[in-house]
Structure 1
Amino acid sequence: MMVSFKLGFLHPRYWVTWIGLALLRLLVQLPYPVLVRLGSGLGHLSRRFLKRRERIARRNLELCFPVMSEALRDALIAKNFMSLGMGLIETGMAWFWSDKRVRRWFDVEGYQNLLAAQANERGVMVVGVHFMSLELGGRVMGLCQPMMATYRPHNNPLMEWVQTRGRMRSNKNMIDRRNLKELVNALKQGEAVWFAPDQDYGRKGSTFAPFFSVKNAATTNGTFVLSRLSGAKMLTVTMVRKTDGSGYSLHIGPALNDYPCMDEFAAASYMNKVIEREILRAPEQYLWIHRRFKTRPLGEPSLYN
């Protein structure tokens, strides 16, 4: 999918967006160690202005890790906001860095797992999670193996053009996550398709299943449906920012051959366990500011105040 540039993007209502993009593009030309300090600092500062998001993150951590001490939870939230600031910088890196510069800063573990899953030109569902470095992770994965990805179109037409252009620098196509037919066709044609089933997408098309210590988390049936309709292999891909500032590690897991593809609840429970394992690689880098448990079973009160 290619989104064409439109002259309407030059309208004054987009000027603030253009200025922000220009500043981001200039900013990410700085050396990476400087960007790490800058991104972490911006994230730390943003905590003062994102109090609602901080409350959401704190509540999520209380629900998922009820025995975690308050001191440890506070430390994790502080690191999470620093990671949020880096996520903005990493978006600019993903969209504006050259391939050569991106390659300097990551290593790959388990690439042979992807090759094995794609044997005989078989489609592969690449299961991802919403780490703050997600945008850069997609760019890095595309440099290893160009693929397709599901996404939600941006509400701002200019940003839709920019993000699609940036994401397709090293990948093949972007598919609206609601377009089931196109997703299944891509998998049947032997493509690798990235899909992130770790967020709350609402009651429709979801099953309530355990996630960490939350008994009923609305979990999308997307992986279950795609698996049954396409017969594709399934594996995880997670990119983690190294704590020493030396770049990133891309982890490609082995095929999930024991995925229970005959029962929605079993499949949702299994996938949540897989997602938990990936989150625990670097919990401070996960998108805890998302209201993961906003959808409740009928009759249950909200878990957020």
Structure 2
Amino acid sequence: MHFLAYIFIYPFLWLTSILPFRLLYLFSDGLYILLFRVFGYRKKVVSSNLKLVFPEKTEKEIKRITKVFYHHLCDMIVESIKSLTISEAEMKKRFKFTNVELIQDIESNNRSIILMCAHYGSWEWIFILQTYIKARGNAVYKQLANKYFDKLVKRIRAKYNSYLITTKDIIPTLIEQKKQGILSVNGFVSDQSPRRNKAYHWQDFMGIHVPVHTGAEMLAKKLNMAVVFFKVKKVKRGFYECTFETITETPADFKNYEITDIFLKLVEQQIHEAPEYYLWTHKRWKHARKH
């Protein structure tokens, strides 16, 4: 059944990916009508999240953020499909780095990096970073149920020396790479909500007390990796700007969870600047509790 789904869906994805961007975004506009207007995909979740973290905003402001968010969500969907066939030159034109030398400098000091980000802006094209550096790129991800699509996503990422590693494999993989002297840049999307029974740390995020993931910090301390936050700004439709900010190059100097808390504050700043580009369909506050 998984193979049948793959052979029927893959040709559609490939044909969509070769569309010029102006047609691709017309497709995105149509998708917006379906997701937002017709099916109302997770509209209750989005509305609930926005009202929870922005109690001071009016209904009109919430509606504006919601509409822009759904347009952006549909853009991200078609942009991820475009990754199948987009050229390196085109991706570099559309996803630019303001200070890639920060990563290059850490790499030149023979240090591996934990690269932390949130579900904000666009993280789909960050793997083009590999064309500017020599280190191996690893990204932690949740394995897809369909093994054929899982292999497809891995193949797309591997074009630029980036590799997807499941959460259960990331620790032994990075330990082995360290033993072999392999430098790596390791991407963690660290703003998800962990399972309540696996939460080691709770912190206020957007004013709500929630459990937070601490795996990135734990690995940085265990393997002595520099920790860098990357901030993505949507310049205009189809164009993004990524800026790196070093959290620390000496993670052992920090108390437990301090690095994670710094990361969360950086994410909050990003959201407040332009809330419409955060992934509001995610049930980030489902385990919220009172102090």
Q: CA deviation at 1:217?
A: 1.4
After superposition, the CA RMSD in angstroms is 2.5
Name which of structure 1's ranges 121-130 and 173-182 shifts more when overlaid on structure 2: 173-182
Is the 8 Å Cα contact of residues 228 and 248 (structure 2) preserved in structure 1?
A: yes
Aligned to 1:147: 137
The Cα offsets for residues 103-131 of structure 1, whole Å up to 9 and x where unpaired, read as: 23232211111112223210111112223
Letter in 2 for 1:277: Q
Aligned to 2:205: 211
| Mapping 1:83-162, distance limit 5 Å | 83-131=72-120, 133-138=122-127, 140-145=128-133, 147-162=137-152
CA separation in 2, counterparts of 1:116 and 1:58? Answer: 42
Q: CA deviation at 1:78?
A: 0.7
| Mapping 1:1-305, distance limit 5 Å | 13-51=2-40, 53-131=42-120, 133-138=122-127, 140-145=128-133, 147-179=137-169, 180-186=171-177, 189=181, 190-203=183-196, 204-214=198-208, 216-243=209-236, 245=237, 247-256=239-248, 262-280=254-272, 282-296=274-288
CA separation in 1, counterparts of 2:38 and 2:253? Answer: 44
Gaps of 5+ in 2: none
Q: CA deviation at 1:260?
A: 8.2
Q: CA deviation at 1:279?
A: 3.4
TM superposition outliers: structure 1 runs of 4+ over 6 Å: none
Percent sequence identity over aligned pairs: 19
Letter in 1 for 2:151: W
Letter in 2 for 1:141: L
Is the 8 Å Cα contact of residues 149 and 174 (structure 1) preserved in structure 2?
A: yes
SS at match of 1:97: coil
Q: CA deviation at 1:193?
A: 0.7
The Cα offsets for residues 45-73 of structure 1, whole Å up to 9 and x where unpaired, read as: 31135536111111111122221221111
The Cα offsets for residues 16-70 of structure 1, whole Å up to 9 and x where unpaired, read as: 3333221122122222233233313412431135536111111111122221221
SS at match of 2:114: strand
Is the 8 Å Cα contact of residues 207 and 220 (structure 1) preserved in structure 2?
A: yes
CA separation in 2, counterparts of 1:236 and 1:273? Answer: 11
Q: CA deviation at 1:208?
A: 0.9
CA separation in 2, counterparts of 1:201 and 1:144? Answer: 33
- Residues 50/143 of structure 1: CA separation in 2 closer, same or farther (3 Å cut): farther
Is the 8 Å Cα contact of residues 93 and 136 (structure 1) preserved in structure 2?
A: no
- Residues 171/58 of structure 1: CA separation in 2 closer, same or farther (3 Å cut): farther
The Cα offsets for residues 123-172 of structure 1, whole Å up to 9 and x where unpaired, read as: 1111122236322333x333333511111111111111111111111133
SS at match of 1:47: helix
Is the 8 Å Cα contact of residues 235 and 255 (structure 1) preserved in structure 2?
A: yes
Letter in 2 for 1:42: L
Letter in 2 for 1:144: Y
TM-score, normalised to structure 1's length?
0.83
The Cα offsets for residues 216-265 of structure 1, whole Å up to 9 and x where unpaired, read as: 1110111221121011111122333322x362222222344586864334
CA separation in 2, counterparts of 1:78 and 1:44? Answer: 11
Letter in 1 for 2:109: N
Q: CA deviation at 1:81?
A: 0.9
CA separation in 2, counterparts of 1:120 and 1:197? Answer: 25
The Cα offsets for residues 173-232 of structure 1, whole Å up to 9 and x where unpaired, read as: 222123323234446743111111110021204411010121x11101112211210111
SS at match of 1:42: helix
CA separation in 2, counterparts of 1:221 and 1:212? Answer: 17
Name which of structure 1's ranges 13-22 and 189-198 shifts more when overlaid on structure 2: 13-22
Is the 8 Å Cα contact of residues 224 and 251 (structure 2) preserved in structure 1?
A: no
Name which of structure 1's ranges 272-281 and 51-60 shifts more when overlaid on structure 2: 272-281
CA separation in 2, counterparts of 1:262 and 1:255? Answer: 11
